[in-house]
């Protein structure tokens, strides 16, 4: 378990205790953590509480539970966890609403991720992106390339760099919304792949309460193994999970089949009604939908030691301004 993972879970526990007026036990903390996408159980919570006690960030009140200390509150402020306000969900809702892509006419606006790379790395980067697209580990093969000093939405691509716009997976939420199907993005995370089959989520972050895209977090912390999947069929990829109403399951599957015909083949699995998907629970009357992350290609590039600056869920773009590269 890496330091980032440990620190993130400790910070979430501190945030929970900071909201409580009275001492809180491990069981309550564990249940609250699950709502934010942390499934570590009571035993795991007790382990992290002991670590927090040792740091004097929490205080043990015996059978009553733990309370956060003054030092613990200062730690929250220092790590900026205290001020999480769900910025990502607001952005998702806004951009999904602005999505106008019509798969029948192949026109309209989609949501993009925008990445910056050094021009010297462009050949290797584009080869890797194509490889990821061919393997079906990206949303679609449509991209747009921005050259150095080219302007896009008021931003100038820096000298010596190039910009790459790729299709964001939240585009599919926008398409579903346009068909009258409501979606509820739940988690972004890491999915373990074995012999070409997605098995389970190994780590997730809830979209609710996050200030940046969870997939972006996992990518920057070197937690993926996309190239291993490309080489051996086993590894770890970025995936996000949303829920849809059970009554919309058949309509959603028909729409995804149509999208696959135009190479929008990002769907890993449409689950069963009221059934968990990739080891994550789903609400009553709901169906889980797992979709590959749009930045898997850039994660594969980062794994090669090539640095990128990637802004997931960046903005919208007319698909006619993009080109199909594979």
pLDDT band at 33 (very low <50, low <70, confident <90, very high): confident
Same domain, 75 and 115: no
The neighbouring-strand residues paired with 102 are 107
Same domain, 228 and 119: yes
Residues 6+ apart with CB under 8 A from 180: none
pLDDT band at 32 (very low <50, low <70, confident <90, very high): confident
The neighbouring-strand residues paired with 185 are 242
CATH code at 15?
Answer: 1.10.10.10
pLDDT band at 35 (very low <50, low <70, confident <90, very high): low
pLDDT band at 82 (very low <50, low <70, confident <90, very high): very low
> Does residue 223 fall inside a structural domain?
yes
pLDDT at 5: 59
Q: Using one digit for the tens of pLDDT, what is the confidence trace for 283-315?
A: 999 999 999 999 999 999 999 999 998 989 989
CA angle 238, 240, 245 (to 5 degrees): 160
pLDDT at 154: 61
pLDDT at 88: 84
> Does residue 84 fall inside a structural domain?
no
> Does residue 85 fall inside a structural domain?
no
Q: Could you give the C-alpha distances from 14 to 47, 82, 121, 273, 303, in angstroms and in order? A: 14, 9, 42, 35, 32
> Does residue 303 fall inside a structural domain?
yes
pLDDT at 85: 45
Q: Using one digit for the tens of pLDDT, what is the confidence trace for 218-262?
A: 998 899 999 999 999 999 999 999 999 999 999 999 999 999 999
Summarize the confidence of residues 70-78 as an average pLDDT.
Answer: 83
CA angle 251, 275, 136 (to 5 degrees): 60
Residues 6+ apart with CB under 8 A from 281: none
Would you say residue 211 has pLDDT above 80? Answer: no
Same domain, 64 and 165: no
Task: Locate all alpha helices (DSSP H) within the chain, ordered by sequence.
Answer: 3-19, 26-35, 41-54, 70-79, 87-98, 122-134, 170-178, 214-220, 226-232, 249-261, 296-303
CATH code at 289?
Answer: 3.30.70.1360
pLDDT at 86: 56
Same domain, 119 and 75: no
**Domain of 294?**
90-324
Q: Using one digit for the tens of pLDDT, what is the confidence trace for 172-204?
A: 999 999 999 999 999 999 999 999 999 999 999
Q: Which of 48, 79, 110 is the last residue of a domain?
A: 79
pLDDT band at 27 (very low <50, low <70, confident <90, very high): very high
Would you say residue 81 has pLDDT above 60? Answer: no
What mean pLDDT is reported for the chain? 91
Q: Using one digit for the tens of pLDDT, what is the confidence trace for 48-72?
A: 999 999 999 999 999 999 999 999 9
Q: Using one digit for the tens of pLDDT, what is the confidence trace for 153-176?
A: 666 788 899 999 999 999 999 999
Same domain, 51 and 102: no
Rg of the chain, C-alpha, whole Å: 21
Same domain, 156 and 259: yes
Q: 61 with 67: CB under 8 angstroms? A: yes
pLDDT at 41: 82
Same domain, 151 and 181: yes
Residue percentage of the chain with pLDDT more than 90? 75
């Amino acid at each position: 378990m890496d330091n980032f993972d440990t620190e993130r879970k400790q910070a979430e526990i501190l945030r929970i205790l900071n909201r409580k007026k009275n001492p809180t036990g491990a069981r309550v903390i564990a249940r609250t953590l699950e709502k934010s996408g942390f499934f570590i159980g009571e035993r795991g919570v007790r382990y992290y509480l002991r670590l927090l006690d040792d740091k004097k960030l929490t205080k043990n009140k015996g059978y009553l539970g733990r309370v956060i200390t003054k030092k613990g509150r200062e730690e929250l402020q220092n790590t900026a966890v205290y001020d999480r306000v769900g910025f990502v969900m607001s952005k998702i809702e806004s951009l999904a609403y602005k999505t106008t892509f019509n798969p029948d006419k192949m026109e309209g606006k989609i949501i993009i991720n925008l990445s910056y790379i050094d021009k010297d790395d462009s050949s290797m980067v584009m080869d890797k992106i194509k490889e990821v697209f061919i393997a079906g580990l990206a949303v679609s093969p449509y991209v747009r390339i921005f050259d150095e000093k080219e302007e896009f939405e008021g931003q100038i691509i820096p000298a010596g760099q190039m910009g790459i716009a790729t299709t964001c997976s939240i585009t599919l939420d926008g398409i579903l919304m346009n068909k009258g199907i409501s979606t509820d993005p739940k988690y972004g995370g890491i999915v373990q792949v074995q012999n070409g089959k997605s098995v389970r989520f190994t780590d997730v972050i809830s979209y609710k309460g996050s200030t940046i895209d969870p997939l972006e977090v996992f990518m920057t912390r070197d937690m993926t193994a996309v190239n291993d999947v490309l080489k051996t069929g086993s590894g770890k990829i970025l995936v996000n999970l949303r829920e849809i109403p059970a009554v919309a399951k058949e309509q959603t599957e028909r729409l995804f089949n149509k999208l696959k015909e135009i190479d929008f083949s990002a769907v890993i699995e449409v689950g069963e009604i009221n059934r968990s998907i990739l080891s994550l629970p789903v609400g009553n009357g709901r169906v889980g939908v797992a979709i590959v992350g749009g930045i898997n290609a850039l994660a594969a590039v980062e794994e090669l030691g090539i640095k990128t600056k990637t802004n997931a869920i960046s903005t919208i773009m007319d698909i006619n301004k993009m080109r199909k590269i594979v």
